[in-house]
Structure 1
Amino acid sequence: MKDFRLYAITGENFHPGRDLIEVMTEAIAGGVDWIQLRDKTSAREELLRKAKALRELTRKHGVTFIVNDHIDIALEVDADGVHLGQNDVPLVEARKRVGDKIIGISTHAIGEAILAEQQGADYIGVGPVFPTKTKADVVDPVTVSYVREVAETIRIPFVAIGGIKLHNVDEVIRAGATRICAVSEIVGSADVRGVCQAFIRKLEQGGAHLGTHR
């Protein structure tokens, strides 16, 4: 699994009138190195079309491609992995289906993070750090205290997610995060590339005094 710093998740509702591939191409140009297709509403045929297009784009640029929830879609387009929530297919069953592909798990408490690590997750999502309206079924914010707890406890890679913006990301980095995920702040921006570059700069600046936190 290639390491990463900036993880973008699709959110077409944040860029009406702009093409998905156009927006994600700009994100890659700005420094995004992982992309996740998350689409809770499209029919399977449309979801597959988007997955194929994103797989082609990410392969062209050497970017890791993850599919949210849909293991069958991930396998069909040869995505690099899947991301699962706490109420999705159990990790052990997912591993049987995807083999050595990447499996990421969303976590909201340290017990979930520890279990995901023990069961063989390749990385975990840590959040939502701040309030977010990106998803309808979002849980209460875990705050930066959970980021700090994970940084001190968990040895597999983790990515902080949820309500992260340029104005509050420094707080997340100071808590120990070296990988950041954003949705609306990236894909909803009028300058997708510029926002991504700004996130990368903040990660680089924060890393100088954060030591070797995962």
Structure 2
Amino acid sequence: MDVILLERIERLGQMGDVVTVKPGFARNYLLPRKKALRATEANRAVFDQQRAQLEAENLKHREEAERVAKGIAGLTVVIVRQASDSDQLYGSVTPRDIAAGITDAGVTADRRQIKLDRPIKTVGMHSVRVDLHPEVSVEVIVNIARTEEEAGFQARGERINRDGEIVNIEEGAIEVETVFEEGAAPEAEELAVAEDAAPEAETPAEEAGAEEAAPSEEDFEKTEG
């Protein structure tokens, strides 16, 4: 299916580009989220008429995102979770958890802005990408620990070993694991949609999002400008 992009889509194109994608990807993701229009003659004419307005709105949103990015660049979010002696979490930390941590720090964030190529399942320091706008991203550090005290040790490049001793990590350096990959937007969206599919008693209204199909690698195979 040919569509007209209404914003920059990673690995697909820029605003105004006409690209070919799989019909399911268009119907379940691009069109309902107003990221694209069907590339009909009528829609092409409408887009051409409104392009200047769309570009002006995009510029406004991008400038606001850049302002927010400066405020949270380098932000560390502490998340306390139960874990085994081998540092494996009992469960995982998801985009929803990270978005809540960023919001608690004073900047409203949505789970769809959090880009992970996999859920986080270990204690430690993790670098996570946050997409504030299709053209503006920032990295934050997610410090996952069993207690606030342990999080403080990790932030200083220290850990508590199994004997209860405080030890340095590589001469005090902070080891940060990157849990996203450049150009991995489809996988990140898949995690966000998968979260919607999981039932949560405290947020039943959000279960409707489970109907949205996640972008997959195949959706990006065939494109043209």
TM-score (norm 1): 0.29
Q: Which has the higher strand share?
A: 2
Larger radius of gyration: 2
TM-score (norm 2): 0.28
